[in-house]
Amino acid sequence: MSIIEYIKQNKLPVIGGVIAVFVLQTTYLNQFMGLSMGSLIGMVSVFGILLVLFTLVTVQVLNYYTPQKNKYAFALIESLVIACIHVLLARYIVIHNFDFSVTQIYNFSLLLPHQLTMSFLIIATISMFSLRGNKHVQKTQVEIREMNATEILREAELNKLQQQLQPHFLFNSLNSINALIIISPDEAREMIQKLSDFLRTTLKRADEQWVEFKHELDYLQLYLDIEKIRFGHRLEIKTIVDPNTLEQKIPTLLLQPIIENAIKFGLYGTTQNVIIEFNAKVESNMMVMTIRNPFDNEMLPQKGTGFGLTGIKRRLYLLYARNDLLETNANENVFTTILKTPLKND
């Protein structure tokens, strides 16, 4: 902390200290030397101006160089050296620029211990405040750097999670297209077009953190159109969406991995029709989205990339610092996923 910043933050104590020093110096000089008021003010001004200058020098030295060990001892020694230089220079200027009698010069010499002590105390006190201020500033800067580093890492992880596309979905889609090219070229072309639209939207939203729920539903529909071509009549999606949710904002690309997880578990190992239920509503200042899908405990799919619900849960924690926003439970061959996001007020 510079002396200017210290003065700005402690105006009244500094002004009071300056007045006290001025009165004390004037009283002592008048008592020991019997000078006129003009001479007294002149001498006190010389001492005061030099004191300010040397104090600035002391503080600047501490700002640019402070040893890691024994820094307070260093500041005290520095203050003592600067105080000695200040007093000797001020006395030299006063003696050579004011007319004194022999008695007055003798009395003036008796003030040396007092002047040296006062100069040292003032410079040392301000030096201690400066050191303490520097320590506080350094601590604050370290905390800011740590916060910035943490935020950068958080953003990097969020971007990685947000942009991660399930490889097996893309591979399965391409395999389905490959099969359809032979038996149904029209459906293959349609699937290619929808996959292109889906991937284009994914890339377009790569830099977006939040999106209105209605746009997220549009993106989800692109994904479902592809899956319906793959699975045909076997896949049915029942959707109930509260109109109050449409304008709310949620993290972008959040729903697709959850629906994909529901389809993977619901359709794996069965040739029967499968119904996936998706409900969305606003409840207790929360967006609440519920996904239900059938599953068979005896016919679990093989492990995939490990992203899925784990990645969604991690994203929610990074965004909201909460671990209770994603819940799953299985009951009577029905797997339920409940996703909650706090309402976002812009």
Q: Which pLDDT band, with edges at 50, 70 and 90, does 304 fall under?
A: very low
The angle subtended at Cα 249 by Cα 246 and Cα 254, nearest 5°, is 100
Q: Distance between CA 252 and CA 242 in Å, rounded?
A: 19
Average pLDDT over residues 70-79: 84
For domain 164-342, the CATH architecture is 2-Layer Sandwich (3.30)
Residue pair 95/112 in contact by the 8 Å Cβ criterion: no
CA distances in angstroms from 217 to 117, 239, 252, 314, listed in the order given: 78, 10, 10, 22
Residue given tokens 């303490």 in the structure block: 132
- In the chain, where the domains are located: 3-158, 164-342
Average pLDDT over residues 332-336: 87
pLDDT digits (tens, 9 = 90+) for 209-258: 888 999 999 989 988 888 888 888 888 899 999 999 999 999 888 888 88
pLDDT at 89 over 80: yes
Smallest CA-to-CA distance from 123 within 28, 72, 56 is with: 56
Average pLDDT over residues 313-333: 87
**Angle in degrees, 0-180, between the axes of helices 102-110 and 71-97, rounded to the nearest 10:** 170
Q: Which pLDDT band, with edges at 50, 70 and 90, does 21 fall under?
A: low
Q: Phi and psi of 34, rounded to 5°?
A: 60, 40
pLDDT at 212: 92
Q: Which pLDDT band, with edges at 50, 70 and 90, does 124 fall under?
A: confident
More confident residue, 114 or 181: 181
* 47: number of Cβ within 10 Å: 23
First to last CA, the chain: 37
CA distances in angstroms from 239 to 253, 316, 345, listed in the order given: 18, 23, 26
Q: Distance between CA 310 and CA 31 in Å, rounded?
A: 83
